[in-house]
Structure 1
Amino acid sequence: NTYVIHHYLLLLIFVMAPPSKRRLQLSAVSKKRLSTSYLNTQINNTSSGEESDMEIDDYNDEEPSNCKSKFTIGNIADLFELCRAQCPLKYLSVLLYMSLRHFGVSWNDCDGFLRDIGSLKAQTAHKWSQTFMSGDFDEFQGENRGGKHNAEFYDYFPEIENEAKQFTLERCSEKSADFTAIDLANFIDAKYYEMTNLTKNVDDVLIRSVSSCRLDLRRWGARFKENSQRPYFEGHERSDVIEHRQQFIDYFLDQKDYYYRVSNDDKPVWTLPTQSPPCILLFHDESTFRSGEVCSKRWFFGKEAPFHSKGKGRSNMVSDFMVQHPSGPFFSLSKSEYEKALVKYPQLANDTGITYVERTATGSINVGQDSYFDNATILEQFERLFQLLEFKEEYKDHVIECVVDNARTHSAKSHSLLDFGKSIGTRCPVDRIEYTDAQGQKQILNCYFQGGPNHGMSKGLLYLAKELQIQVPSKIRLEDLRVSRLEQLAAKYGVTIKFCPKFHCELNCIEGLWCSQKMYVRRKTDQTYTTMLKLIVESRENFRDKEIHLKLFRRFWKCLLAYKDGQSYAKVMKMFFGTKCEGTVKSHTRISNSNLNV
């Protein structure tokens, strides 16, 4: 008994620490001594030596740097599942628990780790460790003594194993990267009931678990590895960004009772505004889909890999809106509402070069062929939205606000208004401004007086506005002169625009829509433009059906509260987007249901 326990302690040491040459040789000798083929020493001596040399050479070729980032929970869970086939679950669980506690790992971290890899809970492992430490070996070994000696599933159904291998090879050879271990588990399940002529009940579990299928894939030579690179950007905690962020946060939290929000229950539901008039919050953004982009990781079989198209392919730019309202997540009019809108705004039916989803303001452009979403097209799309909003029956008697990012398409100007003063003689960065008027004629506007009592002095924004025949109140504030064209257009239709702080995509809920859609498209794409357009439509419906928007809206308000409590950008990213997020480097973090459940 003591020998068995020491053997598994030795095994754990080999797993946890990078092996030296001496340890590799000792491991090879130990395996050889415990092997049933040990009696054939004369036959196996040469091959064992070659194997040991190969193992040592393979290790020497590996990078000696820290590989912690490569040790994912999935890999550890797969290895644990493999060990369970040779050793009782209780022994492994107690061994891991005692080792983790020995190195000072907290109880909660131990429990979370053991649960993630499929081990016994920390409470159970602690109980058995106390039994082991008390010296009561009979009780400790009272269950599952001797490990597992049952025949494997494929020993009874070798035909299913052959078909499963063929199925895996075919799926890994496809361009699309949507093959998962779940697909293999479902395939094996279907073949089992087909072969046995049994009827599966609705409540029956899979005949072979997903974790076992992952081990099958590894045993057959498949590997799950990087399929493409991820985009990066530098985050910022600049003083101006923090100031804008604080204004943004205070605005929404001070008026939170006016908005439709989502509860914090396990199954989120809508909570209605308690103040009047109620406010509907829209989120807008654009994103580009590229037909050549593929999923970051996928299963490969052996050394074979399907052909991969070079480059990013053709692009399609989508500009969309998400609505924080029970009628959402996407804005659209009914057929009767749209007909009423056409009566007042017949230009809604005109062809403008933007492909709109029927009866909505959601548009797309084939980049490189149908131009690009620039300032003019964005303003055109927003005006279409504002005109359609008027006829949405569910939005009657509501205040409408729209959150947009700080992209140049929303506030692009040849000169920044922040550099100009309001009055005569104040700061002015340029001598003159060249622009094109509504008739297409080139015009020049002098920013300094060319004569008169103010000769040589700057005109200031107020005087320049009057020269451009813009009706401006004489007592207007400087901040009011600096509003963007989008804000002016929105005010015309009674809509408020709120700009999201720079570098804070987590405060714009629609970013989660792009993550969900692109993950769906990249997994199923065959890298053709036609398929990509079809998948974009499907991914939008998939987003709606899974109700991911509820979790995104809930996370928006939680991020606001976290910032209000003094948390930094990096801390908020780790709190609500996963512990692997580093606020200073990563962009468009992958959104999954587990990350959204906050």
Structure 2
Amino acid sequence: MSEVAIEKPRWSKKKRFRNLASIGRSAKLARVQENVSNPELAPDGSLDESLIVPRVEVFPEDEDSEEAEDVPLTKDTAKEVYKEWIASQCKDTTKMFAIIMMDTFRTRFGLTDVAAATEAGMVVGFNEKTVRTWHNNFYGQGGTFSQSQQGRHNHRCVLDDEDCRKKASAWLHENAYKKGPNVMTAATFATWVNTDLFPNSHLSPGFPRSITTRTAAKWLHNLGFSPRSYKKGLYFDGHEREDVIEYQKLYLRKIEILQSTHLPPPYGLGGETEELIGSSTAEKRLVLLYHDESSFHSNEGQTWQWAEENRLTLRPKGQGRGLMISDFVDEHHGFLRLTPEEHELAKLSHPGLPKAARVIFKFGAQGQGYWNNDHFITQVELAIKIAEFKFPPSNNTLLFLFDQSSGHCAYADNALIAHIMNVSDGGKQPLLRDTVWDGKSQRMVTENGQQKGLKRVLEERGINTTGMKKEQMVKVLEEMRDFKFQKSRVEEFVLSKGHRVMFIPKFHCELNPIERVWCQAKKYTRANCDYSFPGLERIIDTALDSVSVDLMRKFFRKVREYHRAYREGAVIGKDMKKILKQYKSHRRVPENSLDSNPA
């Protein structure tokens, strides 16, 4: 076979050929490009010889270059030409040219099938076996390529079974949020699926009977779970519990009734009018006094800084000593405290009355110990005295609101609590107060001064305790009115002073405006932190006073927005954040924003 002569250019050191558009001026190469999608086969089944490139015209890079010489077509020259062209082509075009090159090397250069496929594969970037497979499949199917089935198989997932999906979701909600060392992982989820879900599910043939940890992780994403870091913010765990939602509705209803029977709250910043809440003809104003505690630490500085790469300021590892701030806020004046004028008047009529209800407590072993219910009740007593002087009960109704922490909900030592009682009389159990049951008084202490047991108290109320265990006795006694409606110590104390008291629903910190006050105060302490306890003591009052009354009133309006949205039917905390971002007004939630959140 005679070699085909072509013009030889003066080659550039950087680039041997011009781009493919120039090379494509060759009529034969252009013909291949036009027919590559629908090639013609010769009668014997091979490619038409007219499609195989007989010569390639190579143009010199410089217009004033010497006339190019004719050089023989070699394998290297052919590979260079094809390589540039197929770089921008689709996968099927790559297959087509690999087949053309393989036939070229066989017919023009007399190479064997294996050698020709190897040379062609070096150009297109595939191995010899792949090129031969393309070649055989192409001719075996009459000049067409088979459709790739990658990603087209009918994948069946166990989670497509509704019963299995419900079981998996129930197990995750039960185990994913448990506290303690046994944190739920993809591995533990896979173990449960393999040992519990699969054996107890009636799956049709074709479904797997075990999964790996990697598959379990995919299932977790499918079920709406993903790895998340712990961050401070609104706490929604338990936000949708049925008992919490039921109490939330009762709480909002009571607040609504109280607001509708009292004067509206004060106007906001800059004279902007507040949406009318309450009755303008009422005689008294409702004063909402929200309470909360927050801890400030000496080493709690900024969480970021400007710095060069791999260079940060060394900071103490621990949080350091801390101060716990316990305080009250109201919408009228901010923190519950007397003005200088009020304090001067109080010296005459109420000598010894402090200026503010704020308590700064140095907690820890090096300080005053730890905050307990006794400290809390002492502060509440002080707050009531200040509030009564500042907001005379004659034209104000005081409503104290607390969160449901264990310290706030603690009972008095002699409160009617069934589960702390023994079955029999006496023993190590506290002495409970006397009570009234079914219109009759009942002493809870025997004649010799011992505390009565569960058995005796129930029998005095006409309950047959034969065969009953302690758990059953406790359950029966807890359902009786005097035990069931036993109030906490702070409730009894506030009510004894003639004022109202309510507890904010659990997991609803967004309904307490003082939570946002703490956020603003901590911005100040972090920005001015010198990582020393004396420095924290020096700036703590300034940090709290940096939160203006106008800003606090905005926090109160935000709480009323939450109240209104929850009344309209919003339940999920995450949805609430989305709803409150849908508008700019501080005064109203749009009615259509809750259409997708039915009650």
Higher helix share: 1
**TM-score (normalised: structure 2):** 0.46
Relative contact order, higher structure (CA 8 A, sep 6+): 1
Structure exhibiting the larger radius of gyration computed from Cα positions: 2
